[in-house]
């Protein structure tokens, strides 16, 4: 595959009217057009059996990585069918997401085992269709019930090393991240054990004091789940989880930029404290993402999507209907982020948080060809996962015959 003529966003700046050569799902070359095609002889190398896509007038950016998504396209992570997972991944690919962590809710042990087992099986037996599944995110069940948010309280329990081991086994080793409350009994032991297994530990749904949050970071936790939401707030004598999140260099953070979950001023403070290198944009998407307003489910609970906000019947926010292309636009229009910074928070930073930035998160030779073509209005024109198109709009100039 060759993509020609697009402006290419790389870690070193934008290559105007460039060319990207892809082979076996990997980026093989990135160059300005003038360096590739000075004469007919050199052009021959890039023709033949290559498919050529004309990206003139478009911007090529690295694929988005969503480390926290419960559903999308009318499907839920806990639906426990391959078809539902596939439709969820296809729905997110239509909005530029090339890698995703399907995220579970707190629930009975057997339910979670079945869910992670199905996701692990899907990863092991099916070729990517839509966004590629990069692993599983367990949001719970080891949370503080007093800060449950939309998590079902009946599914919350104390941290257990044994249960984590059982879930890791059920998932065929595909758990990449867990969210837990560090103040709960046994949490520090679970953090250390998870880190030993190579699992990223995030803090959330928590009443932790500042000292408890920092102790968790010292034990190996590296991240904080959905900034400001479902956690102890900042007070000048009681800094809480928010104080630890904002001040500790050991903790990165993810945030839901949908205009509902946090005030714009809080988002600006977060940007000043953590910066583009410390923030991952997430969706926390429910099955309502990419769908019209209406009634849906979140882990078996009834939720209502109205005017873009998803809530439980009692009015509590319950995930979102957000997609990452919308989060990018919000960052640029409301937070005055550059395109480069907004894309970094949806691609390179989450890849670094997961420890997969050697293969994903930026457009560089040798990395996976997880790519998104955007038009001038930041609409997704096409999404590519490891060199194959997972989404193509009718606006993509398809297969031009020459460079």
Catalytic residues: 284
Tokens of 181: 């409350």
Distance (Å, whole) CA 108 – CA 96 = 33
Say if residue 330 is exposed, middle or buried (CB neighbours under 10 Å; 0-12, 13-18, 19+).
Answer: buried
Non-local (6+) Cβ contacts of 331 within 8 A are: 257, 281, 337, 341, 342, 345
DSSP state of 251: -
Start-to-end C-alpha separation, the chain:
12
Helical (H) or strand (E) element with 67: strand 64-69
Packing angle of the helix pair 187-196, 210-219 (nearest 10 deg): 30
CA 72 vs. chain centroid, Å, equals 13
DSSP state of 340: H
For the CA atoms of 91, 97, 102, 104, the dihedral, rounded to the nearest 10 degrees, stands at: -90
Strand, coil or helix: 39: coil
Residue in the structure block whose two tokens are 């629930």? 107
Cα atoms in the Cβ-side hemisphere of radius 13 Å centred on 24: 3
Q: CB of 207 within 8 A of CB of 236?
A: no
CA distances 125 to 121, 122, 389, Å, are 6, 5, 20
Residues facing residue 23 across a β-bridge: 26
51 C-beta neighbours (distance < 10 Å), count: 12
Residue in the structure block whose two tokens are 């003038």? 34
Phi, psi of 392, rounded to the nearest 5 degrees? -140, 125
Distance (Å, whole) CA 295 – CA 291 = 10
Strand, coil or helix: 196: helix
């Amino acid at each position: 595959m060759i993509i020609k003529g697009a402006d290419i966003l790389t870690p070193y700046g934008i290559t105007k009217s460039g060319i990207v050569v892809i082979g076996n799902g990997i980026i093989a070359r990135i160059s300005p057009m003038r360096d590739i095609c000075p004469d007919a002889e050199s052009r021959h190398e890039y023709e033949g059996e290559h498919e050529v896509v004309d990206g003139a007038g478009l911007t090529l950016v690295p694929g988005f990585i969503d480390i926290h998504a419960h559903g999308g396209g009318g499907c839920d992570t806990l639906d426990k069918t391959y078809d539902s997972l596939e439709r969820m991944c296809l729905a997110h690919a239509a909005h530029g997401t090339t890698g995703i962590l399907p995220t579970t809710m707190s629930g009975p042990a057997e339910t979670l085992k079945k869910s992670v087992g199905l996701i692990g099986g899907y990863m092991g037996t099916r070729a990517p269709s839509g966004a590629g599944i990069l692993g599983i995110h367990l949001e719970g069940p080891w949370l503080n019930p007093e800060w449950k948010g939309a998590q079902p309280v009946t599914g919350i329990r104390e941290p257990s090393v044994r249960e984590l081991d059982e879930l890791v086994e059920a998932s065929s080793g595909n758990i990449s991240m867990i969210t837990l409350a560090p103040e709960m009994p046994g949490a520090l032991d679970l953090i250390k054990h998870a880190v030993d297994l190579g699992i990223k530990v995030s803090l959330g749904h928590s009443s932790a004091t500042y000292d408890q949050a920092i102790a968790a970071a010292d034990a190996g936790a590296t991240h904080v789940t959905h900034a400001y939401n479902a956690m102890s707030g900042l007070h000048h004598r009681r800094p809480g989880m928010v104080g630890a999140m904002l001040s500790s260099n050991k903790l990165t953070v993810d945030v839901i930029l949908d205009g509902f979950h946090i005030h714009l001023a809080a988002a600006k403070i977060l940007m000043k404290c953590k910066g583009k290198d410390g923030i991952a944009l997430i969706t926390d998407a429910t099955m309502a993402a990419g769908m019209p307003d209406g009634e849906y489910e979140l882990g078996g609970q009834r939720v209502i999507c109205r005017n873009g906000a998803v809530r439980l019947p009692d009015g509590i926010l319950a995930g979102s209907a957000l997609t990452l292309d919308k989060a990018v636009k919000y960052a640029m229009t409301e937070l005055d982020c550059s395109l480069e910074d907004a894309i970094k928070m949806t691609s390179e930073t989450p890849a670094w948080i997961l420890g997969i930035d050697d293969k994903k998160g930026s457009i560089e030779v040798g990395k996976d060809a997880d790519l998104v073509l955007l038009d001038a209005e930041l609409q997704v024109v096409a999404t590519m996962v490891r060199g194959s198109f997972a989404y193509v709009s009718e606006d993509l100039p398809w297969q031009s015959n020459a460079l």
